[in-house]
Amino acid sequence: MAHSQAGADVANVVNRCNSAKQDKKLDLSGCKLIQIPEAVYFLMKNVFVESLVLTNNQIPRLPKKFGVVFPGISELCLKKNKFSSLPDELQDLTNLQSLDISFNSFTCIPNAVYRLPKLVNLNAENNSITDVDQEKLEGMASIEEEKDNDFWQNDQRCSMTQLKIF
């Protein structure tokens, strides 16, 4: 039984990759992933992907090659995984406008996030974020929203003019 379920899981990932070739939206949410399978990189090679959703898996990290395989994405959803950091190479996603890192294990906003030139939406709710570099956030002219992480409970909240706190 476990063998047939594993085969069904693999087939599910392959089918979703094939669908993404048509609509440019790769949704691998709920696929029981502990990492992004090498087959995904192979199947999506030379495919322009605008949106990548990895919600509700068990992924702890993105590989450094992630930005090379998905250079054009504008939306990245890593919600409900096991991330506590992101690779510096994430900053190479120069078209990224929306990043959802909510419901993970972050204790700070990853440095690469501060270097995303087109980032408009950042959702980091339900993490354990206690450290935010206010100066770097203020330098991100494009940012519009930041989900509440209970770290805005001091006077810094009032000086954050570029963020809408939800």
pLDDT of residue 4: 62
What residue has token string 């519009």? 144
State the pLDDT at residue 140: 79
Least confident of 53-67, 82-96, 123-137, 138-152: 138-152
Q: Which of 39-43, 80-84, 119-123, 148-152 has the highest mean pLDDT?
A: 80-84
Cα–Cα distance, 93 to 70 (Å, whole number): 8
Q: What is the pLDDT, as a whole number, of residue 143?
A: 74
pLDDT at 80: 98
- Reported as a single tens digit per residue, the pLDDT across 115-162 is 999 999 999 999 998 878 888 877 777 776 444 444 444 333 322 222
Domain boundaries, the chain: 2-165
Q: Say what the pLDDT of residue 130 is.
A: 84
Any idea what DSSP says for residue 56? S
Q: CA–CA separation, 154 vs 86, rounded Å?
A: 26
Q: Which run of H or of E encompasses 165?
A: strand 164-165
Following DSSP, what letter does each residue of 75-121 receive, concatenated? EEE--SS--S---GGGGG-TT--EEE--SS--SB--HHHHT-TT--E
What lies within 8 Å, CB to CB, of 89 at 6+ separation is 64, 65, 66, 67, 68, 112
pLDDT at 161: 27
Residue-averaged pLDDT of the chain: 84
User: What percent of the chain shows pLDDT beyond 90?
Assistant: 66
3-28 confidence digits (pLDDT tens): 566 677 789 999 999 999 999 999 99
Rounded CA-CA distance 78/159 in Å is 28
Give me the architecture of the 2-165 domain, per CATH. Alpha-Beta Horseshoe (3.80)
pLDDT at residue 47 above 50? yes
**Contact assessment for residue 112 and residue 90, using Cβ atoms and an 8 Å cutoff:** yes
